[in-house]
């Protein structure tokens, strides 16, 4: 490893095995919670919001701890995450059209 690579590798590490094990237990617990929620027969929108909310929480834990994003410089987070959230959000503009299509198909 070059001196530069060694220096940045050293600087970017953090967390202990105990911390990572705790995060893993948390992720498994949230997964079991999701399976339980799936059988509660909530309306579809409520169910979707709850499951996606928990999935975002799990994704956050994985990125923050397993992918070490929490231990990197804030600039990396600010470069990657807000732009991704914006792009994902922009994709939701298609949904009003899916509802329009549903109404057309339900017409007698």
Which residues of this chain interact with another protein, rule CB under 8 A? Answer: 1-5, 7-9, 11-13, 17, 20-21, 24, 27-28, 31-32, 34-35, 37-39, 41, 44, 47-48, 51-52, 54-55, 58-59, 62-63, 66-68, 72-73, 75-76, 79-80, 83-84, 87-88, 91-92, 94-95, 97-99, 101-102, 105-106
Say how far apart CA 7 and CA 16 lie, in whole Å. Answer: 20
Say how far apart CA 60 and CA 69 lie, in whole Å. Answer: 9
**Beta carbon of residue 29, minimum distance to another protein (angstroms, whole number):** 11
**Beta carbon of residue 48, minimum distance to another protein (angstroms, whole number):** 7
Measure the CA dihedral 81/85/91/95, to 10°.
160
**Beta carbon of residue 39, minimum distance to another protein (angstroms, whole number):** 6
Question: What's the Cα-to-Cα distance from 89 to each of 53, 61, 65, 86, 97, rounded to whole Å?
Answer: 14, 20, 24, 5, 16
């Amino acid at each position: 490893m070059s001196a530069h690579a060694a220096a940045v590798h050293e600087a970017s590490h953090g967390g202990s095995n105990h911390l990572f094990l705790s995060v893993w237990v948390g992720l498994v617990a949230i997964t079991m919670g999701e399976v339980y929620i799936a059988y509660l027969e909530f309306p579809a929108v409520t169910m979707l919001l709850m499951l996606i909310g928990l999935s975002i929480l799990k994704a956050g834990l994985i990125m923050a701890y397993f992918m070490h994003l929490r231990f990197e410089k804030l600039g990396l987070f600010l470069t990657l995450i807000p732009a991704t959230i914006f792009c994902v959000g922009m994709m939701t503009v298609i949904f009003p059209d899916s509802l329009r299509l549903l109404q057309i198909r339900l017409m007698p």
